[in-house]
Amino acid sequence: MRSACIVIGLLLMALALRSSRSAWIRKLGALVFLAASFALLFFATGCWYGGVAGVMMWFFLPWVELLTRVRRMKLPMDNRLQHRPSPNPAFFPNARETVMRMETEGYRHVSDCCWEWVGMKQHYRLFYHNDSKTVATLCLCEQADVVFSFVSISSMGRDGEVWKTTNYPFAPTLMYPEKFHWNHVPCSRNCFLQILANHREHLARYGIENASLIAGDPEHLEEIIEEEMQEMIEHNLDRGIIEFSGEGYFCYSTKGLFYLWGQFVKDMVRLC
């Protein structure tokens, strides 16, 4: 009974900490969950490495999805954006406020388009700012019963290099070519003005001035996005993350599954 009370007490403490509004207290709650897992397996097996196995079990949990759903996925090599009206931004966190702030800052709405990837829909609302030569994208994502939104701001240099700032909440599922310089800010930073300020700081760190940026053609933003995706697919084919699966499709290789596992673990640690 003493062992059971310790495990139950740790679980109740973890649940209490996870209900806090403070991010650090919630992370402490996740650590207490790990302690409860250690205690459960330690008392059940009577040895310390049984407790360690109980903790490690959480980090190997993503392999269930990797070996079942992800391993069977086949994604199109040539996936094109489709013109579709965006869903109501009111159903996506902070989306309506973001659009209003973009327009207030002088960003002009260019187009709406959509990408579909194996049950996931990504709706893009593209905005362009003439003076700063930057593209701002509000992405509305739908996957099963989960919906979320994020912002990306990008600038392109005359040598073809691209600087991007985003509050995308998850680790990337593909490797980026070296020409892309990403600045991932916390997903809790959902104010467009903050993300815009972070993007300007990102450019300043590389010594990029407005005169060295290319003024993109707003009418061809969708083509640029498609070209970037093709470059990313080719880069990951070269790195062995993905491989051809026939008939114009690709899938994740064994190396790619381990890469995804590392990304899942990063998200578990960062978002817990």
Q: What is the pLDDT of residue 272?
A: 66
Residue 258 in domain: no
Residue 190 in domain: yes
Whole-model pTM: value is: 0.84
Residue 250 in domain: no
Tell me the residue range of the domain where 19 lies: 2-60
Work out the pLDDT band at 219, boundaries 50, 70, 90. Answer: confident
The number of folded domains in the chain is 2
Same-domain status, 148 and 205: yes
Same-domain status, 112 and 231: yes
Residue 249 in domain: no
Long-range pairs of 155-162 with CB within 8 A, sequence gap ≥ 24: 155/199, 155/203, 155/208, 155/213, 156/213, 156/214, 156/216, 156/224, 157/208, 157/212, 157/213, 157/214, 158/212, 158/213, 158/214, 162/228
Same-domain status, 223 and 133: yes
Question: What amino acid is encoded at 129 in this protein?
Answer: H
Same-domain status, 235 and 119: yes
30, 60, 90 - which closes a domain: 60
For the ranges 72-81, 215-224, 234-243, the maximum mean pLDDT occurs at 234-243
Residue 140 in domain: yes
Work out the pLDDT band at 105, boundaries 50, 70, 90. Answer: very high
29, 60, 91 - which closes a domain: 60
Residue 99 in domain: yes
Residue 169 in domain: yes
Residue 92 in domain: yes
pLDDT tens digits along 44-74: 888 888 888 888 888 899 999 999 989 988 8
Same-domain status, 217 and 83: yes
Same-domain status, 123 and 224: yes
Same-domain status, 114 and 196: yes
